[in-house]
């Protein structure tokens, strides 16, 4: 027996195509697809002949870059009919979005195989112009037969397989044919049809592979299941059905039998609400069919996947002119980011008027503007999930986008929840980092894992609920329609009730912070690992702040719900749920408020401990931080800038050392018990000066402005009053005073200089370089001060979201994901980034609205400026503009005292 000549399996090779990466198939003047610059990632693609190819693309590359590479590899011109599919993390088969970055769709590219397959099946295969295209279609038919998707009677199945055999091994030879059929399974029940396949194959002698492909497609296109992908559904009575979409419209199957079809010309609107897929038909007096048909699918995601493919099929086969390109959004995109694109572009400048999922379409689905026959090669570019843009852009925008203030309040919940979950992941990263070195004691590991993990898991689910609700709310066809999904109170009520069950875990978070500090004092290795972790980019704030995030988040929920309840009238559908949620979260805030106040103070003492040298016991029991900032101290050398730290028992003054760690050296501590204060501007001739008279020494200081002086004098007087009420300082505080061992006379002369610090090194200075952007350092450089009240307000007023930023002398606006916390703006490219690209400390900055002379002719713009530094930021709405102004003012303007400090309720550490 003569062995058959082995035929290449790759499509391009079978047709004798050169290995030119598709350059030879391009039109004159065209260039092959270019690679996006940046780091490369390998993507595996399975071709229709079951071979796999690896393509290298940039990590920032869009799906179209990869698709173009595949088409170029195959020398494929008619790429419109094909696409790439893959299984997502939910195990659902979805299409690769060609406009979105690949790595934002495929989370684990190394473990994902994309499949290059036929996406659109034309009713007549003669529309396929290239032999290669028909061959690829034949491979798709072969695959659909083998997996049982393309079902048919036995005669049709045998005839189809006979054409496949003829194409693969050539003219009939009975022995060779039988052997080939034994080695290759083309249909599930192939053995029973062996004789019939052989009988048909005898008749194909002389038929070329291309002719066999043609005949295969001719038979397949007449089958009811040709090109059909079934999506499980149920009707209103609960009967199991399947939905599908084809070139003609939407199909309904029961099993593999088509029981109904809705032609595009009959369909007025396609939409989905949660798991319900809705088909709205045009009125027909001759039909008893309902106006709107409803089908239930497995999930909202399944529903959306099917809706998207329906939009794409309609666009591909029924729209004939390419609409005007959609201008790049000036501010932000909302709703589904789904877009349909066809690589072929019509030269017609006019735009069609069809909306698959819109209101008041001016062109019937399936109707051509000029009566031409459909041609999938002239499919237009659709924008906005099936919409074609109309000329009246403002009217369309008003219809598509929510304008209700409640929507923007809900969106603030979404954006801040994303940041909160990222902050919780910092604790997880820290735990994993320390566990690698086996430096974390079991007691601490169990405390963190047992009480942070349940809270983190809960908020993962909470975030998904909020994302789903906002996606429904801002759907482009739903924005102007009132419905059950245009509310957020019910989502918050459900989840806050679930969060109440985790109150015991939240109370343990403060214990985790205390335990971590205790363990660091007893383990140099753990202390070093914590210090190293804080230097990583992901830890963009002091580590111990992240331990308090769950308690701060309760304050955020309370503020959001208060704004929501203030906005809603009592008759609003969402008012009752919002009020109930507010009552629940307020109860939790009251319950945990005392713990939060104590832990905020303890966290601040620990943070300051890292910035100071020359004092051993800063975090003493009962000590409370009040204010830190710059004052000029009068000495024998004149006025010298010093950093002062005011606590409820002592006032410390320091200067910054010229060391690798940039810490502040403590030069003196003034006990507050028995201290008096007197303004002394006239006495010393120094503006904004005042004198502090202590039991052992007196100092003269001057503030940078009248407002700074007022803050310091007010806080010092309050602290003195509290110290006097407590009948003097404790023994521990007295024993820790005057660590520089100076006599009162020496202290009053105060001849120290920055040079003295080089000779006063301690073991704390021999640590890794300290970050120079802490609040203490910012206050030093900008000659300002900040109080504990300011710290608390800044932590409680966290805000996140997209902003557009422009520098003073630049023309363009850059879109950034911005997080406000801890007196700073942190900038990211997207909310998914692991760490910020840059930060802007706001202490000392002023926030205003640009003047007309600055030529910023945009809405919702605010300006940040400090000396010669000027930044402009644009927000998306009046509400978000007001919120950014509000929270930034809380960081740039010191707050008044809103809580009294008392040592009658000492903090227990």
- Alpha-carbon distance of 187 to 197, in angstroms, equals 11
| DSSP string of 669-729, one letter each residue | EEE-TT-EEEE-HHHHT-TTEEEEE-SS-EEEEE-SSHHHHHHHHHHHHHHHHHHHHTTS-
CB atoms under 10 Å from CB of 275, counted, come to 17
Same domain, 621 and 595: no
Check residues 119 and 473 and name the one with the higher pLDDT. Answer: 119
Check residues 66 and 907 and name the one with the higher pLDDT. Answer: 66
Q: Is the pLDDT of residue 400 over 80?
A: no
Q: Which pLDDT band holds residue 483 (cuts at 50, 70, 90)?
A: low
Same domain, 814 and 841: yes
**pLDDT score for 674:** 87
Same domain, 217 and 253: no
Domains: count for the chain: 5
Q: Is the pLDDT of residue 803 over 90?
A: yes
**pLDDT score for 257:** 86
**pLDDT score for 407:** 92
Same domain, 239 and 155: no
**pLDDT score for 229:** 92
- Alpha-carbon distance of 603 to 625, in angstroms, equals 10
CATH number at residue 171: 1.20.80.10
- The first and second tokens of residue 505, run together, are 């875990």
CATH number at residue 485: 1.20.900.10
Residue 816 domain flag? yes
Choose the weakest-confidence range: 316-325, 538-547, 575-584, 776-785.
316-325
- Alpha-carbon distance of 234 to 254, in angstroms, equals 10
Helix (H, G, I), strand (E, B) or coil at 869: strand
**pLDDT score for 285:** 55
- The first and second tokens of residue 69, run together, are 């590479």
Helix (H, G, I), strand (E, B) or coil at 761: coil
Same domain, 501 and 550: yes
- Domain hosting 488: range is 405-609
Residue 865 domain flag? yes
Same domain, 556 and 430: yes
Q: Which pLDDT band holds residue 896 (cuts at 50, 70, 90)?
A: very low
Continuous segment of H or E residues that includes residue 872? strand 869-874
Same domain, 674 and 632: yes
The stretch 898-908 carries a mean pLDDT of: 38
Q: Of the residues 318, 344, 375, which one is the last residue of a structural domain?
A: 318
- Alpha-carbon distance of 444 to 447, in angstroms, equals 5
Could you tell me which residues are beta bridge partners of residue 404?
none
Q: Which pLDDT band holds residue 284 (cuts at 50, 70, 90)?
A: low
Q: Of the residues 707, 726, 745, which one is the last residue of a structural domain?
A: 726
- Alpha-carbon distance of 670 to 649, in angstroms, equals 9
Cα dihedral 222, 227, 231, 234, rounded to 10, equals -10
**C-alpha atoms less than 13 angstroms from C-alpha of 285 in its C-beta half-sphere:** 0
Report CA-CA distances (Å) from 760 to 542, 597, 653. Answer: 26, 35, 16
**pLDDT score for 265:** 84
Q: Of the residues 202, 221, 240, which one is the last residue of a structural domain?
A: 221
Choose the weakest-confidence range: 44-53, 63-72, 385-394, 555-564.
385-394
The stretch 161-189 carries a mean pLDDT of: 89
Could you tell me which residues are beta bridge partners of residue 262?
250
Same domain, 439 and 532: yes
**pLDDT score for 663:** 85
Residue 507 domain flag? yes
Instruction: Give me the residue label for tokens 């983190």.
Output: 456
**pLDDT score for 404:** 84
CATH number at residue 821: 2.30.29.30
Encode burial over 713-750: b for 16+ CB neighbours within 10 A, e otherwise: bebbebbbebbeebeebbeebeebbbbbebeeeebbeb
- For strand 249-254 and strand 240-245, is the pairing parallel, antiparallel, or unpaired? antiparallel
Percent of the chain with pLDDT over 90: 29
In 483-607, at which residue ranges do the beta strands (DSSP E only) sit? none
| Tens digit of each residue's pLDDT (9 = 90 or more) over 231-264 | 999 988 888 999 999 988 999 998 888 888 888 8
State CA 325 to chain mean position distance: 27
Residue 513: what are its φ and ψ, rounded to 5°? -65, -45
Residue 440 domain flag? yes
Q: Is the pLDDT of residue 226 over 70?
A: yes
Instruction: Give me the residue label for tokens 């019939």.
Output: 196
**pLDDT score for 364:** 36
Q: Is the pLDDT of residue 720 over 80?
A: yes
| Tens digit of each residue's pLDDT (9 = 90 or more) over 91-131 | 888 899 998 899 889 888 888 999 999 999 988 887 788 88
Choose the weakest-confidence range: 18-27, 301-310, 638-647, 659-668.
18-27
Residue 579 domain flag? yes
Residue 47 domain flag? no
Which residue in 397, 325, 315 sits closest to 120, CA to CA? Answer: 315
Percent of the chain with pLDDT over 70: 77
Same domain, 258 and 193: no
Instruction: Give me the residue label for tokens 């800044």.
Output: 794
Most confident range (mean pLDDT) of 258-262, 412-416, 549-553, 775-779 is: 412-416
Residue 342 domain flag? no
**pLDDT score for 864:** 93
**pLDDT score for 694:** 86
The residues, any chain, with a CB within 8 Å of residue 518's CB and separated by 6 or more, are none
| Tens digit of each residue's pLDDT (9 = 90 or more) over 618-665 | 888 889 999 999 999 888 778 889 999 999 999 999 988 665 567 888
Q: Is 416 left (phi over 0), alpha (psi -120 to 50) or beta?
A: alpha
The stretch 327-356 carries a mean pLDDT of: 42
Same domain, 304 and 435: no
**pLDDT score for 728:** 53
- Alpha-carbon distance of 606 to 547, in angstroms, equals 13
- Alpha-carbon distance of 277 to 303, in angstroms, equals 6
What is the pTM for the complete model shown? 0.55
Q: Which pLDDT band holds residue 596 (cuts at 50, 70, 90)?
A: confident
| Tens digit of each residue's pLDDT (9 = 90 or more) over 376-399 | 332 222 223 333 333 343 444 444
Check residues 22 and 147 and name the one with the higher pLDDT. Answer: 147
Asked if 534 and 606 count as a contact pair (C-beta separation under 8 A), the reply is no
Continuous segment of H or E residues that includes residue 202? helix 194-202
Same domain, 428 and 519: yes
Residue 17 domain flag? no
- The first and second tokens of residue 678, run together, are 């007197």
Residue 323: what are its φ and ψ, rounded to 5°? -75, 170
Same domain, 427 and 286: no
Average pLDDT along the chain: 78
Q: Which pLDDT band holds residue 732 (cuts at 50, 70, 90)?
A: very low
Which residue in 310, 129, 123, 82 sits closest to 226, CA to CA? Answer: 123
Helix (H, G, I), strand (E, B) or coil at 641: strand
Q: Is the pLDDT of residue 678 over 80?
A: yes
**pLDDT score for 353:** 32
């Amino acid at each position: 027996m003569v062995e058959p000549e082995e035929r290449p399996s790759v499509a391009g090779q079978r047709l004798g195509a050169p290995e030119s990466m598709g350059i030879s198939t391009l039109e004159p003047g065209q260039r092959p697809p270019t690679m996006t610059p940046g780091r490369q990632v390998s993507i595996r693609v399975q071709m229709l002949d079951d071979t796999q190819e690896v393509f290298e693309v940039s990590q920032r590359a869009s799906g179209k870059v990869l698709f173009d590479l595949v088409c170029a590899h195959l020398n494929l011109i008619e790429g419109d009919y094909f696409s790439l599919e893959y299984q997502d993390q939910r195990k659902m088969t979805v299409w690769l979005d060609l406009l979105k970055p690949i790595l934002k769709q495929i989370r684990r590219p190394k473990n994902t195989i994309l499949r290059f397959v036929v996406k659109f099946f034309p009713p007549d295969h003669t529309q396929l112009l290239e032999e290669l295209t028909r061959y690829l279609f034949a491979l798709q038919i072969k695959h659909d037969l083998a997996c049982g998707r393309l079902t048919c009677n036995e005669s049709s199945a045998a005839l189809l397989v006979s054409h496949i055999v003829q194409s693969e091994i050539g003219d009939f030879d009975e022995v060779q044919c039988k052997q080939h059929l034994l080695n290759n399974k083309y249909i599930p029940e192939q053995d029973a049809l062996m004789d019939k396949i052989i009988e048909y194959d005898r008749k194909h002698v002389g038929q070329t592979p291309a002719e066999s492909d043609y005949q295969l497609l001719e038979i397949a296109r007449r089958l009811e299941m040709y090109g059909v992908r079934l999506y499980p559904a149920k009707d209103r009575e609960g009967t199991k059905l399947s939905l599908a979409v084809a070139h003609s419209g939407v199909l309904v199957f029961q099993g593999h039998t088509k029981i109904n079809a809705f032609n595009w010309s009959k369909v007025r609107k396609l939409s989905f609400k949660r798991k319900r897929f809705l088909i709205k038909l045009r009125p027909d007096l001759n039909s008893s069919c309902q106006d709107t048909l409803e089908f239930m699918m497995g999930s909202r995601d399944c529903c959306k996947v099917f809706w998207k493919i329906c939009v794409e099929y309609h666009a591909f086969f029924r729209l004939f002119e390419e609409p005007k390109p959609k201008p790049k959004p000036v501010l932000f995109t909302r709703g589904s980011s789904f877009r349909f694109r066809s690589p072929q572009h019509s030269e017609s400048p006019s735009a069609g008027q069809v909306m698959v999922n819109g209101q008041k379409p001016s062109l019937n689905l399936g109707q051509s503007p000029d009566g031409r026959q459909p041609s999938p090669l002239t499919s237009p570019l659709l924008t906005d999930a099936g919409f074609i843009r109309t000329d009246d852009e403002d009217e369309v925008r008003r219809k598509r986008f929510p304008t209700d203030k409640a929507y923007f309040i809900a969106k603030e919940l979404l954006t801040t929840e994303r940041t909160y979950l990222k902050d919780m992941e910092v604790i997880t990263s820290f735990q994993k980092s320390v566990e690698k070195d086996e430096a974390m004691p079991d007691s601490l590991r169990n405390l963190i894992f047992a009480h942070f993990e349940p809270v983190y898991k809960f908020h993962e689910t909470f975030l998904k609920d909020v994302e789903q609700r906002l996606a429904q709310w801002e759907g482009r066809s739903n924005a102007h329609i009132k419905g059950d999904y245009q509310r957020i109170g019910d989502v918050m009520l459900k989840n806050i009730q679930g969060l109440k069950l985790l109150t015991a875990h939240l109370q343990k978070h403060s214990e985790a912070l205390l335990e971590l500090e205790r363990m660091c004092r007893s383990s140099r290795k753990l202390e070093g690992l914590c210090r190293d972790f804080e230097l990583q980019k992901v830890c963009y704030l002091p580590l111990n702040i992240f331990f308090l995030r769950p308690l701060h988040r309760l304050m955020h929920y309370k503020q959001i719900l208060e704004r929501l309840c203030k906005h809603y009238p009592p008759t609003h559908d969402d008012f009752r749920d919002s009020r109930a949620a507010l009552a629940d979260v307020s109860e939790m805030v009251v319950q945990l408020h005392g713990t939060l106040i104590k832990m905020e103070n303890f966290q601040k003492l620990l943070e300051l401990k890292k910035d100071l040298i020359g004092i051993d016991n800063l975090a003493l029991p009962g000590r409370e931080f009040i204010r830190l900032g710059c004052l000029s101290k009068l000495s024998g050398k004149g006025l010298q800038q010093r950093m002062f730290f005011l606590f409820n028992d002592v006032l410390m003054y320091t200067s910054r050392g010229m060391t690798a760690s940039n810490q502040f050296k403590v030069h003196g501590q003034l006990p507050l018990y028995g201290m008096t204060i007197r303004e002394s501007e006239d006495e010393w001739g120094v503006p904004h000066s005042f004198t502090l008279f202590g039991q052992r020494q007196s100092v003269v200081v001057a503030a940078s402005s009248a407002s700074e002086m007022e803050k310091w004098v007010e806080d010092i007087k309050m602290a003195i009053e509290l110290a006097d009420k407590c009948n003097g300082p404790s023994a521990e505080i007295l024993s820790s005073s005057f660590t520089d061992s100076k006599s009162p006379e020496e202290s009053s002369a105060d001849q120290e200089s920055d040079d003295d610090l080089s000779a006063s090194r301690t073991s704390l200075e021999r640590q890794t370089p300290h970050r120079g952007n802490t609040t203490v350092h910012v206050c030093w450089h900008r000659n300002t001060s900040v109080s504990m009240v300011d710290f608390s307000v800044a932590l409680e007023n966290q805000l996140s979201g997209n902003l557009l930023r422009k520098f003073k002398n630049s023309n363009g606006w850059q879109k950034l994901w911005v997080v406000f916390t801890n007196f700073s703006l942190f900038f990211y490219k997207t909310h998914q980034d692991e760490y910020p690209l840059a930060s802007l400390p706001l202490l000392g900055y002023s926030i205003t609205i640009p003047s007309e002379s600055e030529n910023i002719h945009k809405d919702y713009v605010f300006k940040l400026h400090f000396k010669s530094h000027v930044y402009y930021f644009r927000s998306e709405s009046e509400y978000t503009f007001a919120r950014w102004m509000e929270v930034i003012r809380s960081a740039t303007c010191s707050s008044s005292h809103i809580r009294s400090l008392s040592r009658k309720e000492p903090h227990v550490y």
